[in-house]
Structure 1
Amino acid sequence: MRVAMISEHASPLAARGGLGGADGGGQNVFVADLAAELGRQGHHVTVHTRRDDPGLPGRVRFAPGVTVEHVPAGPAAEVPKDELVRWMPDFARHLERRWAQEPPDVVHAHFWMSGMAALWATGRLPGPSVPVVQTYHALGTVKRRHQGDRDTSPPDRVDWERRIGRSVDAIIATCSDETRELAGMGVPTDHVAVVPCGVDLGRFRPDGPAEPRAARHRLVALSRLVERKGVDTAIRALAHLPGTELVVAGGPPADALDADPEVRRLRDVAAGAGVAGRVTFTGRRGRDEVPALLRSADLVVTLPWYEPFGMVPLEAMACGVPVVATAVGGHLDTVADGRTGLLVPPRDPAGAARAIGDLLADGDRRARMGAAALLRARLDHSWERVARATADVYTRAGRRREVRA
């Protein structure tokens, strides 16, 4: 199958570099690993992403069967993703010209602006129409609910997400909570399939080196450093957990931490909570460094206000490390509460501290949870399984398009 993926702001090439930048993270990794696995399974995948550097080549071979194409749309420079919508018509025109010469069998759009470009481009193609599959990765309704006036999304984002959901041939939701959210938006759910995130089981595994650590308990938070990720909740929880350290990985490179506004805010939170000496900010980590970091943890904590997927819990689970996570979004599907970790309310430092403290005090229970977490990751979240389920959705989308045509 010839698969055209669109990931307008999240290049899979970025997944090979450091993790934890302001606009880098889960979607880059998701697109990279899904495309690579589809290529391994014999599909031919082209990932279309926006050119954000004039030195980038037009085409890059990413993996066997996978090519990344850089689309000229807007300035060849880094632009915050919320400002990219103005260049989606240019993105779509490029795709239209490209696909008029070599149409794909299916288009898979990642994020709502990619969905805009996909529908515009396929709607103008001559000949049989091409089926479009949409993965939102995050929904504007959820972001607006939690961020309110601080939401920087374009004002018509939710309207576009609703329009895309009613126009595409299939939607892949990464968790069941997203399906409920789409239904509330008025998007028909008869063509929504829940396909969970995958995890690289070759990279994330329990055996292998672990980062050196002190004798005291260690918590690890691996996250983009933006307020909604709830790192401040983990820091405040630490005040109730004597003899425990928190390692925060993510954000800018280590040599730029002092200039980062969110790092400065979080350091102030740590100072106010009296735990500054037990919180370490490492900065952005290379992907190859992450497994050893996770394996060094007694627990991985991930406490965002909302979370569309939850890749960090999966990566920790695949390393055999239990997780304390907020009971939101993708975490509700990923973390089996009481078996592979514990779920806690968001923005509740005392509640998080109680859950973390209970597990830190019971090494046998942590070991049982870690073993169950590893089994769950291997059985349910291999990229091989996720890619096959995704390809099944592509096939159903093609059949739906034929019926609609």
Structure 2
Amino acid sequence: MRIAFFNPQGNFDKNNSRLTEHQDFGGQLIYVREVAKELSKLGVFVDIFTRKIDDENWPEFKENIDSYDDTKNLRIIRIPFGGERFLRKELLWPYLKEFAEGIFKYYKNINQKPDFITTHYGDGGITGAIFEEITNIPFSFTAHSLGAQKIDKLGVNIHNFDSYDREYNFSIRIHAERTSMNRSAFNIVSTNLERFEQYAHPLYEEAIDINDDNKFEVISPGVNVNIFSSEKKEMDKEFWQKIEKYLSRDIKEKNKQYIVLSSRVDEKKNHLGAIRAYAKSKKLQQIANLVIFVRGLINSFEDINKLSEKEQKIIDEIKRIIEDYGLKGKVSLFDVPGQEELASAYRYFVKKNSIFVLPAFYEPFGLAPIEAAAVGLAIVATKNGGPMEAFDRGKYGVLIDPFDENNIADGMIEGLENFKKYSELGKKRVIENFTWEITAKKYLERIEKYLKNPIKKINYLEIPKFFFNKEKNIDKKIILEYLHNKNAL
């Protein structure tokens, strides 16, 4: 069997260059890479299609074909579209027909074709729909995140919609997502919560029936247990020495437990809620120090000019809280540059009986906490979203209300005081349920099931004309009606 992955944004290469350095190079790339690798180990031939970039600032992505040294049966195939330079994902929409046609030409030239397509994010989804229109090859859609939820989180309304639309292309994205979920063979979601809450959003009405079991498959993301392992690695000695230097620089009493924040610095991840909870709790300060991993922040606050404007704003507020509450000597910010280093840092803080905290306002799934749990940190995570299912309503970790700083503080105290219990339970939960091998096997089972008995689709949505003629404006009526009704309420 040959399965193709469509992932136009971000990019892939054998050295995992740029991973997590840019918002387009985040969790979904790790997801695609790991599922693809595990499928190849199951004997599947896998093609990852992404964008060819011929840009001196992005030299890793100019070759047509690439591969992973440790993986057989897997190709990374870069298709030129949208010009040569790097484009952020919001600017790729007008060129996705070109991408789909490029993939078709590639297969035609080598006289091959895939049996099934799995598409990722809205831009991959609409590419899959266009490709199916050309070839009649079915596709699945894995959204990773949906534009409707982002509209709500950003506070988009009828007055500011146009400015947000210019930046994020919501009008195009929503139409792409509606088409993708409607025309897909089935939609893969990480949790039941994602299916019954996110896909039930009014902006997807008439595009998808959330009660149709044939249209959904719950397949959770996984952890690379070779990287996120409690077993000590060769790199640990050197990296732990770096951690010790950071802590010696910033921390007065190093032999306490630690609270670890390692999510990317983003307003929705709610670092400030956790830090304020720590600042206001004398008990927390007595038993634990606080560490925050920030990519690129080697010299603590001296390096904040290297961060984005939004990240700088959050780091500046963290600095203010530290000063206002006299937390100097209790908080450390430092750089953890990659996944291997992240796992190593987790192993270091497991030795200190530490907790991993994810206080996000909402987390669609929450891959970060299950990675931390696999290494052995006790987990304290938001109750809003995926962690509620991943940690079985608090059975395997502590769930917190991210809007209640007292509850966040109480949850962190519970995790610290019951470290051994939650460390053991969390690790067991991950190993038995959330590995990439398990994820890939479920993908393959669902694909094989569909191919043996394809379900005839009804109520097809037409692919929006924009994707065939990018000069035409796409209809914004659906979004504006939603915002008008929301404003009326």
- When residues 235 and 22 of structure 1 are mapped into structure 2, their CA distance, relative to the original with a 3 A threshold, is farther
Residue number in structure 1 paired with 2:257: 217
Greater relative contact order (CA < 8 Å, ≥ 6 in sequence): 1
| Among candidates 388, 393, 397, match of residue 450 of structure 2 | 397
Residue number in structure 1 paired with 2:80: 72
Match status 1:132 vs 2:179: no
Residue number in structure 2 paired with 1:378: 431
How far residue 284 of structure 1 moved from its aligned partner, in angstroms, is 5.0
How far residue 293 of structure 1 moved from its aligned partner, in angstroms, is 1.1
- When residues 21 and 216 of structure 1 are mapped into structure 2, their CA distance, relative to the original with a 3 A threshold, is farther
Q: Is the 8 A contact 2:120 2:142 kept in 1?
A: yes
How far residue 253 of structure 1 moved from its aligned partner, in angstroms, is 6.1
Q: Is the 8 A contact 1:222 1:249 kept in 2?
A: yes
- When residues 276 and 80 of structure 1 are mapped into structure 2, their CA distance, relative to the original with a 3 A threshold, is farther
- When residues 263 and 124 of structure 1 are mapped into structure 2, their CA distance, relative to the original with a 3 A threshold, is closer
Could you give the per-residue CA deviations for residues 38-93 of structure 1, whole angstroms, max 9, x where no partner exists? 01111011101112344421000122111111121223333221222122122122
Match status 1:6 vs 2:10: no
Match status 1:246 vs 2:299: no
| Among candidates 311, 316, 335, match of residue 283 of structure 1 | 335
Q: Is the 8 A contact 1:300 1:323 kept in 2?
A: yes
Q: Is the 8 A contact 1:199 1:382 kept in 2?
A: yes
How far residue 399 of structure 1 moved from its aligned partner, in angstroms, is 3.8
Amino acid at match of 1:359: G
CA distance in 1: counterparts of 2:84 and 2:390, whole angstroms: 37
Q: Is the 8 A contact 1:60 1:69 kept in 2?
A: yes
- When residues 285 and 37 of structure 1 are mapped into structure 2, their CA distance, relative to the original with a 3 A threshold, is same
Residue number in structure 1 paired with 2:183: 167
Match status 1:107 vs 2:114: no
Larger radius of gyration: 2
Amino acid at match of 2:344: A
SS at match of 1:148: coil
SS at match of 1:328: coil
Could you give the per-residue CA deviations for residues 248-280 of structure 1, whole angstroms, max 9, x where no partner exists? 224446475333223432232223323365333
Q: Is the 8 A contact 1:106 1:132 kept in 2?
A: yes
Q: Is the 8 A contact 2:191 2:219 kept in 1?
A: yes
How far residue 9 of structure 1 moved from its aligned partner, in angstroms, is 1.1
Structure 1 vs Structure 2: percent identity of aligned residues?
23
Amino acid at match of 1:117: T
Farther-moved stretch of structure 1 (63-72 vs 130-139): 63-72
SS at match of 2:25: coil
Q: Is the 8 A contact 2:379 2:415 kept in 1?
A: no
Residue number in structure 1 paired with 2:305: 258
Could you give the per-residue CA deviations for residues 126-180 of structure 1, whole angstroms, max 9, x where no partner exists? xxx2110110000112111111236843122223212211111011101111111
Could you give the per-residue CA deviations for residues 278-315 of structure 1, whole angstroms, max 9, x where no partner exists? 33332352221111211233001112222222111110
- When residues 115 and 39 of structure 1 are mapped into structure 2, their CA distance, relative to the original with a 3 A threshold, is same
TM-score of the aligned structures, taking structure 1 as reference length: 0.91
Residue number in structure 1 paired with 2:320: 272
Residue number in structure 2 paired with 1:293: 345
Amino acid at match of 1:282: F
Farther-moved stretch of structure 1 (101-110 vs 15-24): 15-24
Q: Is the 8 A contact 1:173 1:179 kept in 2?
A: yes
Q: Is the 8 A contact 1:170 1:393 kept in 2?
A: no
How far residue 20 of structure 1 moved from its aligned partner, in angstroms, is 5.2
- When residues 53 and 217 of structure 1 are mapped into structure 2, their CA distance, relative to the original with a 3 A threshold, is farther
Farther-moved stretch of structure 1 (383-392 vs 258-267): 258-267
CA distance in 2: counterparts of 1:182 and 1:9, whole angstroms: 22
Q: Is the 8 A contact 2:304 2:315 kept in 1?
A: no
CA distance in 2: counterparts of 1:91 and 1:280, whole angstroms: 45
Q: Is the 8 A contact 2:267 2:314 kept in 1?
A: no
Greater per-residue strand proportion: 1
**Any stretches of 5+ residues in structure 1 without a counterpart?**
none
Tell me how many residue pairs correspond in the alignment: 399
TM-score of the aligned structures, taking structure 2 as reference length: 0.76
Amino acid at match of 1:234: A
Amino acid at match of 2:226: G
- When residues 350 and 32 of structure 1 are mapped into structure 2, their CA distance, relative to the original with a 3 A threshold, is same
